[in-house]
Structure 1
Amino acid sequence: MLSATPTLGSLLPLVLLCRMCAGQYSSDQCSWKGSGLTHEGHTRDVEQVYLRCSQGSLEWLYPTGAIIVNLRPNMVSPAAARLSVCVKPSADSSGTNIYLDRNGKLRLLLREQDQAQGKVHCFSIQEGALFIEAVPRTDISRRTTAFQYELVSDRPGAEAHSLNAPCQPCSDDEMLLAVCTNDFVARGIIKKVEQQEEHSSVTVEISRLYRQKTQVFVYGGVRVRRWTGHIKMPPHCGVRSGEGEFLFTGTVRFGEAWMGCAPRYKDFLRLYDDAQQQGTNPCHVDTD
């Protein structure tokens, strides 16, 4: 088992070998699935995996040796340098330690025993590729390293998954831009707030749904003729229920809604009307 602050001693041969065989394995796809059983005879080789989508998954059965996973957007753009990568291990992920590899220098991201917690870990795309090294085993019991990944832009609310995200109000410009660019935009009220260990879960009732990237809000049946859903946010933000109508905006990460800008609706209307008169609105919103 590697220590929490590992050195490159045993890993350096693998890194150097990888530099010589950079084209050994290449796949321009969203997801990858492989098995260490096909790798058994040459466990010191390091395979290169290329995933070029905004989101996808990896599953490595019976891990042996190491693989390097290069996560890149499928389009070349100056904005790509500002992307972050978020990784969410599955609950049964095991068998490897995961590092960030930047020019042969490794930084521990996830120990094997940490992966089963299923927590989201994010890092700048410029911090390097994922270096995933199998933990040596004397038994042949089945182990699988598996995770989902997403590339996250730096638009307002994109870092809402972080427990250290600030709870400060959005600026006027950020608020107007969030309505145009965020994954969901909805008008409604806060029905309940549940404080959990790592985040707050805000139950909302939606009177007007402008947009949602995926179905994080669902339409009620006969008794509840409105959209309802749950939005997560850092636990220290102190949001409370029953405080009027809001315009909720935010991002969707791994199928979960995270709060971005959430002004009171009357404040948003005043800001939006002022911007309309000045001709500075970045997009049109139907406020009727």
Structure 2
Amino acid sequence: MDISVLWRALASGHLVITWLLLTAITGGRTQHTCNQCDCTISDPGNGEGAIINVKPKCLEGRITWLSSYGAIRLELSPRHAGEYRYCVRVQSENIKTIVSQEVLSRTRGNYKLKIVNDVEVRLSPLFTTRGRSREFCISGSDPVRLYLETERSDEDTGVARVKVHYDIERTSSSLHYSPMEECRPCTDRELLRAYCTSDFVAVGNMDDVDHDDVEETSVIRVSVTQLLSQKDAIFKKAENGWTRPHELKGVVHAPHRCGIRHGEGQFLFTGRVRLGQPVLQCAPRYEQWKSVLEMALLNDELECSYGS
């Protein structure tokens, strides 16, 4: 049986099969535990349609899938119980990627009718992408299992490659404030935490703000005068010809619904790299931040030392 045809029928809702039957059919299944946050895997079946099980151990990171043929079963699981938001963004190069969610249903047995306990699995289609997808999120308390299947056409040339950025965030914790979920100013406590734990911390000015209706995000162009820390190369030296060549330039993202507008003066920009993009977290005016910082130093409440 053609595995890809089987799964497409399953994803379309025309077929429901037991987990035991599924395991028997997909004999080309391999296991891959992602011990790092960012992992690279490749199709072990040499284009024959193997199914690779991937279970990252981190709450955020990237899976790079080389020679992207067959399928990946991606299990996203938090470390502790609670309500979480599971988000992914897929970059599909030289191939189409079909993303579905595995949904399990359990049937209780009945010893009088000689019916044993059974588990059925079906695929619920989420989205299809060729190129860069939008962010897609699922909320819940149970681990999320995604099924990514690729489909190559005669028009696709070059090496097939798929990148999956994933992010697991607890939604009930106020200590992990995310502007992708809420639009409000940060409290003093959140400012201090963001200053010490963010993926990027910089002082600078807003050059411009563009709004992307398709991505539903605002893109903020920033000129940095003081770079305190950054996880990735978010802020870089300006291009040749800029009137202030020693200034760093970069962009950060925020939800479109927050209605961010261009503001004059200096700000403290903090945030995290989320699904491959720098996302703004707290951005107080620099004078406000200096007051918060001075009070924290006076009360010995600052948990880090850089730039203080």
Q: Same fold judged by TM-score > 0.5?
A: yes
Amino acid at match of 2:233: Q
User: CA 1:249/1:14 → structure 2, altered by over 3 Å: closer, same or farther?
Assistant: same
Aligned to 1:10: 15
Aligned to 2:53: 48
Deviating more after overlay: 144-153 vs 78-87:
78-87
Q: How many residues align?
A: 270
User: CA 1:91/1:61 → structure 2, altered by over 3 Å: closer, same or farther?
Assistant: closer
- Relative to its length, the structure with more strand (as a share) is 2
- The Cα offsets for residues 191-244 of structure 1, whole Å up to 9 and x where unpaired, read as 111222222111111111000110110123673121111111112323233422
- The Cα offsets for residues 6-43 of structure 1, whole Å up to 9 and x where unpaired, read as 53x52424674238989951223412221766546xxx
- The Cα offsets for residues 227-268 of structure 1, whole Å up to 9 and x where unpaired, read as 111111112323233422110001123543211111111111
Q: How does 1:26-37 map to 2 (within 5 A)?
A: 26-29=31-34, 30-34=39-43
Instruction: Judge conservation of contact 2:167–2:275 (CA < 8 Å) in 1.
Output: no
Aligned to 1:223: 243
Amino acid at match of 2:218: S
Aligned to 2:135: 120
Residue 173 of structure 1: which of 156, 180, 189 is its match?
A: 189
Residue 249 of structure 1: which of 270, 278, 281 is its match?
A: 270
Aligned to 2:302: 281
CA RMSD of aligned residues (A): 3.9
Gaps of 5+ in 2: 106-119
Instruction: Judge conservation of contact 2:51–2:73 (CA < 8 Å) in 1.
Output: yes
Cα separation, 2, equivalents of 1:131 and 1:260: 31
- Structure ID, larger Rg: 2
Aligned to 1:57: 64
Secondary structure in 1 matching 2:206 = strand
CA displacement at 1:55 relative to structure 2: 2.5
Residue 96 of structure 2: which of 94, 97, 112 is its match?
A: 94
Instruction: Judge conservation of contact 1:156–1:178 (CA < 8 Å) in 2.
Output: no
Amino acid at match of 1:192: D
Instruction: Judge conservation of contact 2:30–2:51 (CA < 8 Å) in 1.
Output: no
User: CA 1:118/1:83 → structure 2, altered by over 3 Å: closer, same or farther?
Assistant: closer
Cα separation, 1, equivalents of 2:211 and 2:264: 17
TM-score normalised by length of structure 2: 0.70
Gaps of 5+ in 1: none
How many percent identity over aligned positions?
24
Cα separation, 2, equivalents of 1:140 and 1:259: 41
Cα separation, 2, equivalents of 1:140 and 1:191: 44
- 1:199 paired with 2:217, answer yes
CA displacement at 1:110 relative to structure 2: 2.9
- 1:70 paired with 2:75, answer yes
Amino acid at match of 1:25: T
Instruction: Judge conservation of contact 2:101–2:144 (CA < 8 Å) in 1.
Output: no
Residue 270 of structure 1: which of 291, 294, 297 is its match?
A: 291
Secondary structure in 1 matching 2:302 = coil
Secondary structure in 2 matching 1:28 = strand
User: CA 1:91/1:237 → structure 2, altered by over 3 Å: closer, same or farther?
Assistant: farther
Cα separation, 1, equivalents of 2:236 and 2:146: 36
User: CA 1:109/1:286 → structure 2, altered by over 3 Å: closer, same or farther?
Assistant: farther
